[in-house]
């Protein structure tokens, strides 16, 4: 085993990437009689209350059947947020090659910022320049997004995929 794979390196890496941030996070969470944790609990309850009403109104990946090298794919998702704010959710496009069975493989996740509001519907989108050739497909997903910290974001299982 080479030195780059020894236990000391692993422990230092785990400490830097996981343990130290978790330790700092508990300090923030516990401050002011757990004010941040209480605020998060209220937010989480509010999101769960309306989550069944959050939905994709329209999705669009452009009408082109082929994209020339250097071309872009316009990824757009109109989402009804059921009273949530755009910063309460994370809208992403998942783009990848389409295999023989119609499944996406070698996927890339593209976060979509909000670009327009139309009443209660928010339009999220951005242009995507594929780095690979071949048959591409895409899907969109929405998840709750209070979890700015990657260590805590996965704890909330709210997720919806476009049809």
pLDDT of residue 139: 92
Distance, CA of 162 to CA of 100 (rounded, Å): 21
pLDDT of residue 154: 52
pLDDT of residue 89: 92
- Looking at domain 54-161, which CATH architecture does it have? Sandwich (2.60)
pLDDT of residue 3: 60
pLDDT of residue 125: 96
The Cα-based distances of 153 to 92, 105, 116, 133 in angstroms read 15, 24, 25, 33
Count CB-CB contacts under 10 A for residue 36.
Answer: 13
For the cut 60, the answer to whether the pLDDT of residue 151 exceeds it is no
Q: Could you tell me the pLDDT band of residue 22, with boundaries at 50, 70 and 90?
A: confident
Distance, CA of 114 to CA of 76 (rounded, Å): 10
* pLDDT digit string, tens, across residues 32-75: 999 988 988 898 899 999 999 999 999 987 665 566 667 788 89
Share of the chain above pLDDT 70, in %: 85
The secondary structure of the chain, three-state, reads CCHHHCHHHHHHHHHHHHHHHHHHHHHHHHHHHHHHHHHHHHHHHHHHHHHHHCEEEEEECCCCCCCCCCCCEEEEEEEECCCCCHHHEEEEEEEEEECCCCCEEEEEEEECCEEEEECCEEEEEEEECCCCCCCEEEEEEEEECCCCCCCCHHHCCCEEECC
Q: Could you tell me the pLDDT band of residue 29, with boundaries at 50, 70 and 90?
A: confident
In the chain, where the domains are located: 3-48, 54-161
Mean of pLDDT values over 106-134: 90
- Residue 161 backbone phi and psi in degrees, to 5: -110, 150
pLDDT of residue 149: 58
pLDDT of residue 79: 97
Q: Could you tell me the pLDDT band of residue 136, with boundaries at 50, 70 and 90?
A: confident
Count CB-CB contacts under 10 A for residue 136.
Answer: 19
What is the pLDDT of the chain when averaged over all its residues?
85
**pTM of the predicted model as reported, rounded to 2 decimal places:** 0.79
For the cut 80, the answer to whether the pLDDT of residue 30 exceeds it is yes
Cβ pair 118, 105 in contact under 8 A: no
């Amino acid at each position: 085993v080479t030195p780059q794979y020894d236990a000391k390196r692993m422990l230092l890496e785990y400490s830097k990437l996981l343990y130290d941030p978790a330790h700092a996070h508990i300090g923030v969470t516990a401050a002011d009689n757990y004010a941040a944790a209480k605020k998060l609990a209220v937010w989480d309850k509010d999101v769960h209350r309306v989550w069944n009403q959050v939905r994709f109104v329209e999705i669009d990946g452009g009408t082109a059947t082929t994209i020339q090298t250097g071309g872009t794919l316009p990824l757009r998702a109109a989402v009804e947020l059921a009273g949530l704010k755009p910063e309460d959710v994370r809208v992403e496009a998942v783009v990848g090659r389409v295999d023989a069975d119609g499944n996406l493989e070698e996927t890339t996740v593209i976060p979509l910022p909000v670009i327009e509001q139309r009443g209660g519907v928010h339009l999220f989108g951005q242009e995507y320049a594929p780095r690979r050739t071949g048959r591409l497909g895409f899907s969109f997903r929405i998840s709750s997004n209070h979890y700015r910290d990657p260590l805590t974001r996965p704890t909330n299982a709210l997720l919806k995929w476009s049809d």
